[in-house]
């Protein structure tokens, strides 16, 4: 049984990004890039399923520029068997990614696709859901536990005020939440081994997908800077400031 794991190359979560001065976007020139953290969790889950003998092949997929190859090599160092880069310089949105993944799913015929619940750069939380709709497959988003059995997968999800458990027939889509697992570290020998693994590159045209952007960014601005606080001498002054200056009571 095959599992596809889409992995996105994003600005590393430790990097503090800044808006460009012309407001046209976020400045990521020279920023450290990494695999989207939720995708590391997705890949870890796929690896655990493979190690338990329930999965035979894990394929990592990335859509984007040539440098996404680095993310795919990391995915293969973690344990993915092979990788596919859908290479494009276009700024691809979740719908385009979902269409590309659908085309690859039609080709590869996996039983499971595990995505991150969201990419930490665009925070869209849309790709998995759109892909499930395009494929007509059942979906379980925000998974915190995954149990794979013959022909079905049982997924526990964290919802407001408790846990929800869903049973899905395969093929199915899962998106990962933070508490699903703790991803392993990449070891040097595995980085070396990953260099020899198969990495295929295709372009969106070959898959018959138009990746033209449908959204237009009007403006990106930094959040307002917090102003310095003041120390008040007594409670009466505090209450007076809250009432008359902040007008919150």
- Which positions lie near ligand AMP, rule CB under 6 A? 6-8, 36, 38-39, 61-64, 92, 94, 97, 115-116, 118-119, 122, 124-128
Q: 9 vs 50, which CB is nearer to ligand AMP?
A: 9
Residue 148 CA to its chain's centroid (Å): 21
Distance between CA atoms of residues 87 and 72, nearest Å: 12
206: left (phi over 0), alpha (psi -120 to 50) or beta: alpha
Q: 90 vs 191, which CB is nearer to ligand AMP?
A: 90
Q: 144 vs 241, which CB is nearer to ligand AMP?
A: 144
How near is the Cβ of 103 to ligand AMP at its closest, in Å?
Answer: 13
CB 248 within 8 A of CB 242: yes
Q: 118 vs 139, which CB is nearer to ligand AMP?
A: 118
Position with the least CB separation from ligand AMP: 116
How near is the Cβ of 121 to ligand AMP at its closest, in Å?
Answer: 8
Distance between CA atoms of residues 191 and 196, nearest Å: 9
How near is the Cβ of 211 to ligand AMP at its closest, in Å?
Answer: 10
Q: 70 vs 122, which CB is nearer to ligand AMP?
A: 122
CB within 8 Å of 54: residues ≥ 6 apart: 1, 148
Query: Residue 70: enclosing H or E segment and its boundaries?
Result: helix 68-78
């Amino acid at each position: 049984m095959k599992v596809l794991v889409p992995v996105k190359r994003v600005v590393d979560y430790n990097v503090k990004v800044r808006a460009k001065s012309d407001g046209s976007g976020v400045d990521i020139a020279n920023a450290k890039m990494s695999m989207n953290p939720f995708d590391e969790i997705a890949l870890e889950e796929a690896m655990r399923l493979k190690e338990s003998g329930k999965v035979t092949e894990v394929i990592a997929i990335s859509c984007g520029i040539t440098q996404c190859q680095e993310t795919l090599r990391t995915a293969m160092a973690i344990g993915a068997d092979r990788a596919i880069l859908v290479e494009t310089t276009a700024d691809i949105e979740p719908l385009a990614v979902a269409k590309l993944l659908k085309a690859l799913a039609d080709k590869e015929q996996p039983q499971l696709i595990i995505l991150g619940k969201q990419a930490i750069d665009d925070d869209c939380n849309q790709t998995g859901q759109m892909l499930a709709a395009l494929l007509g497959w059942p979906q379980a988003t925000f998974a915190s536990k995954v149990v794979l059995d013959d022909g079905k997968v049982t997924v526990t999800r964290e919802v407001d005020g408790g846990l929800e458990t869903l049973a899905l027939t395969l093929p199915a889509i899962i998106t990962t939440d933070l508490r699903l697992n703790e991803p392993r570290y990449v070891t040097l020998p595995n980085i070396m081994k990953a260099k020899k693994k198969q990495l295929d590159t295709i372009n969106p045209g070959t898959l018959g997908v138009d990746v033209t952007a449908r959204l237009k960014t009007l403006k990106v601005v930094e959040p307002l800077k917090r102003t310095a606080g003041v120390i008040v001498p007594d409670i009466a002054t505090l209450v007076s400031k809250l009432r008359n200056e902040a007008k919150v009571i």
